[in-house]
Amino acid sequence: MTHFVINIKNLTKNYETVAGVVPVLKGIDLSVSSGEFLAIMGASGSGKSTLMNILGCLDTPSGGIYELNGTDIQSLDKNSLASFRNSMIGFIFQGFNLLPRMSIIDNIALPLVYAGIPKEERIERARIMLEKVGLGLYGSYRPNQISGGQQQRVAIARALINRPKLILADEPTGNLDTKTSEEIMTLFSDLNTQEGITIILITHENNIAQYAQSIVHIHDGKIDFREPTNRMEERIK
């Protein structure tokens, strides 16, 4: 039996509004095994962002089971969730979300600050990561001094630095042009194929989703269907 990084059973999420309880996720079943590259697609309002927040331990489900790396996250308190995010998950956002006052190196090393790693090791590991995403010369720059594509590479380096079990990328190419988007997606699939990093990608663009191995379509809070991508089909052939 393959090791599941993510194991979700009958996951529900309701939001309470003035109009009453609004169900956003209505029973999701999903398993992601180690080394998988999965894209989650859906129209806006389909619940994919909510699912993403729950997967990233930023939000808690209303019902059902969510196990991340074998741990039921509903059993964790706020503090343990923070540690869990720190060690298990690497986030990549549409808007890059780098801290503007910090140098690139310090941005990349920030998760290690919260992991309690000593300074020399932090900087050393951040340099290696920066090298890996191809920005070795930019360590002392500030985020606003480099391009959007470069900023996203920095964000990827930051997501990877604490060797997470899972990378969560929420519309990572949403703010980038086509050419840069291709470069970033190539970096993702390289990380996946060469280093076996588990990636969950949220997007609404089909051509971006095609970089993954399989696509899960979400519609109205439920999983519509799951299909292998063209790339996978080609590879199988």
Quickly tell me which residue has 């969730």 as its tokens.
81
Using rule CB under 8 A, residue 93 touches another protein? yes
Using the minimum distance from each CB to another protein, give the nearer residue, 11 or 98: 98
Least distance between another protein and beta carbon 66 (Å)? 16
Give the binding range for another protein (CB under 8 A) out of 75-83, 172-180, 203-211, 218-226. 75-83
- Is 47 a residue that touches another protein (CB under 8 A)? no
CB of 90 to another protein, least distance (A): 8
Per residue, the 3-state secondary structure of 92-160, as one string, reads ECCCCCCCCCCCHHHHHHHHHHHCCCCHHHHHHHHHHHHHHCCCCCCCCCCHHHCCHHHHHHHHHHHHH
Residue 59 engages another protein in binding (rule: CB under 8 A): yes
- Which residue from 22, 113, 128, 137 is in contact with another protein, where contact means CB under 8 A? 113
Q: Which stretch binds another protein (CB under 8 A): 65-73, 86-94, 133-141, 180-188?
A: 86-94
Strand arrangement, sheet containing 214-219: 89-92, 166-170, 198-203, 37-41, 214-219, 222-228
* Cα–Cα dist 23/222, whole Å: 11
Query: Hey, how many other C-beta atoms are within 10 angstroms of the C-beta on 177?
Result: 11
One residue of 78, 120, 178, 237 binding another protein per CB under 8 A: 78
CB of 229 to another protein, least distance (A): 28
CA neighbor of 127 nearest in space, from 140, 114, 136, 118 = 136
d(CA 130, CA 125): 9
List residues near another protein by CB under 8 A: 53, 56, 58-59, 78-79, 82-83, 85-87, 91, 93, 97-99, 101-102, 110-111, 113-116, 119, 158, 162
